[in-house]
A and B are shown apart, each in its own frame.
Chain A
Amino acid sequence: MTRLLVHARDFRAYRALLDLHARAGWFRLSIVAALPVAWIIVANLAPLVQMAMISLYDRYPLAPGTEPQFTLRHYTAFFGRPLYLTAFLRTFVFGTAVTALTLVVVFPIAFYISKVAAPARRTRLLLLVIAPFWVSEVIRSFAWILMLANRGAVNSFASWIGLPGTPYELLYNNVSLTIGVIYLTSLYMLLPLYAALEKIDRSVLEAASDLGAPGWRRFTRIVLPLSREGVVTGCTLVFLLTVGLFAMPQLLGGPNTTMFATTIGQVFAKAGDSWPLGSAFSLILLAAALAYVGLFMLLFQPRRRKTS
């Protein structure tokens, strides 16, 4: 690599670039920022702008030779039909509950890997937890269908050991959806938690123990406050992922677990001029989810002390 860079200095254009780079701070900044900024504009903002425009069209796709008429009726449709609000509120309640459950399930795992397991085994344990995420969401959903169906592994086992009332209805309801979503999003909770917990100095925990603090007190007074940033980041990621889920609620959910993202998906999937309505609903969901998360971060994000 070094030889390549040395060789590159033979080119006048490269030398000119290096000179400019050395002289101008703005140039250095623009080189570093150019690719990420371009990516954000092209991949993230442009589709949103396009969606915002379509949401204001009277109809889309436009018939050949016609001009779009602008309207707000697709936004008012959301408030005009209370049944949409049901799915919308269900999404936020479900997202909040699943985020809390994911935190409860994943926290002990993150704590074990970061604080209890031997340092040499930590990478292997993390890999073990990450491994299922190499398989797609849809395939993992089908795996859960095989597990939870009336003739699936769980019911077969329950029946085999003689439990009464089998088969249990475990699929196409909140049970299957909650299990599936926790399984799907746990990695996004684990990694921020692991990063936060690993930073906690072991000697602080040992000192508290030496001074007689029982386990629960060490947890509430040291571990939880010091890992708060990881908790907030993990919860934010899991919540935003959960409210936007489409495939898994479609595969594992039932008639009474319809999430708002599924409703949006159905609107878009319909043959007809339904894109403006779907776009308006998508933007409403995006704005509400960001506001909800913003409020959460405002309340729970640890404040950084100002340094003089």
Chain B
Amino acid sequence: MSKTFPRREFLKSTAAMGAGALAMPAFVSRAWAASDQLNIWAYNGFVTEEFRNRFEKESGIRLNIRLVSDQGEQFNLLAAENGNFSTDIVCCAGHRFYQFVDASFLEPVDTSRLSNWSQIETEYAEADWVSRGGQRWGVPLLIASMGLLYNTETFTDTDSWAPMFAEENKGRIAYQIQDFFPIAMDYLGFDGSAARYRGNTDVAQRAVDATRDFLIGKKPLVRRFYDSGTEVQQMMVNGDIALAQSWSGAASKLILDGFPASYTIPKEGGWAFAYGFNIVRGAKNLDNAYRFLDALLASPENGAAMVRETGYISALKGTEALLSDEERKVLFLSPEHRGRLTWVNVETAPFIFDLIDKAAEEIRAA
């Protein structure tokens, strides 16, 4: 029996396959928008396994979590998706969220849809670093500080950033350039928050240039410019460095794991910022996003679990009481050290970070 394959049928099949391939983004897009799904980009530990299982079981909503490593990665992914976002929730840092707002990537948060909004500590819920243009753009969850981490077997107690610039510590120093830059500005007597330079670009540029030149001059002392918290932990454990500018989360985890280290906010000052979850513009699963955020805020147990996973302090009320004495000792700063922290000024952040980002590239390239 001979079989034939008529040309018309062949063309029809090809056309059907082509149409299927062309329509694929629509199918995928619909999958993103399925009613029982929620897509989240988050840092490791921000959605704990225990919470995820409980939430999925109780709500019937499946969480699709993509782990991200920094703000730039999320920003560039959203930029590449050009408005047709594959996620509903992103995880912005308080000192960088303005870039996401200005790029029209985020949706304002309607706090009336979050019955547990009052569970957030008032000082964080009302903070200006989640507001822009009179609207609230995120749900603050974890509070981070930037201070000095040092190996206590190598260094006695230090209360200054000076060892980070001392010749005798050559080859034992590491920092993340962008985050250390405002600290170095403060150390040199400039204003890392740029509040003093408001509206005066020339003065700010001169301060940034002077700090950049100072850091380039001190570059031979630096063992490595790192990018993530795990890198600073790894370098400490491997004995490659003995002191570093660090985020409190990476430092706390290292100390709680038994490494002989200490974390402090030196007298010249340190910086504080918050991480939160933000809803993207036109989120396809908006109702699920609000259900998820409300469930996360519902119990201090969720905050305590996040603290143990990340090493940061929770923004939820009642979390501190659930931690052990040892955890409290490592995680919480004394009132004196807390008083040395400066919160990133959201109004001046776009202005100063633009200058700092360029200077950071130049330090790295020099």
Contacts and interface: CB of A to CB of B under 8 A. Distances in A.
A270 B357 contact: yes
A87 B361 CA distance: 10
Interface in B86-109: 96, 99-100, 103-104
A269 B73 contact: yes
B364 A263 contact: yes
B228 to A, nearest CB: 11
Contacts of A172: 223-224, 240
A270 B356 CA distance: 11
Nearest to A262: B364
Residue with the greatest number of chain B CB neighbours at <10 A, chosen from A149, A270, A274: A270
A171 B231 CA distance: 13
A271 B104 contact: no
A99 B356 CA distance: 35
B9 to A, nearest CB: 9
Nearest to B178: A270
Interface in B126-171: 171
Among B4, B10, B74, B223, the one with the most A-chain Cβ atoms within 10 Å of its Cβ is: B223
B239 A254 contact: no
Contact of B224 (A61, A83, A254, A269): A254
Contacts of B75: 271-272
A260 B220 CA distance: 19
Decide if the interface of chain A is mainly helix, strand, loop or mixed: loop
Nearest to B281: A64
Contact of A258 (B3, B99, B365): B365
B362 to A, nearest CB: 4
Nearest to A256: B219
A67 interface: no
A13 interface: yes
Contacts of B171: 169
A152 interface: yes
A271 B96 contact: yes
A207 B219 CA distance: 58
Nearest to B9: A13
A84 B7 CA distance: 59
B224 A255 contact: yes
B219 to A, nearest CB: 5
Given A63-B104, A64-B104, A255-B225, A271 B99 contact: yes
Interface in A133-157: 145, 149-152
B79 interface: yes
A14 B238 CA distance: 65
B65 interface: no
A84 to B, nearest CB: 6
A84 B99 contact: no
A167 interface: yes
B222 interface: yes
Interface string B1-34: 0111111001000000000000000000000000
Contacts of A250: 227
B339 interface: no
B70 interface: yes
A109 interface: no
B105 to A, nearest CB: 9
Interface of A: 10-14, 60-61, 63-64, 81, 83-84, 86-87, 145, 149-152, 167, 169, 171-172, 250, 254-256, 258, 260, 262-263, 266-272, 274-275
25 contacts: A10-B3, A61-B79, A84-B362, A84-B365, A86-B365, A87-B365, A87-B366, A149-B240, A150-B239, A151-B239, A169-B171, A172-B223, A172-B240, A254-B222, A254-B224, A255-B225, A256-B219, A267-B361, A269-B76, A271-B71, A271-B72, A271-B75, A271-B99, A271-B100, A272-B99
Given A10-B4, A255-B225, 18 more contacts: A61-B80, A63-B104, A81-B362, A84-B361, A149-B238, A151-B238, A172-B223, A254-B224, A258-B364, A260-B365, A266-B364, A269-B70, A271-B71, A271-B74, A271-B75, A271-B96, A271-B99, A272-B357
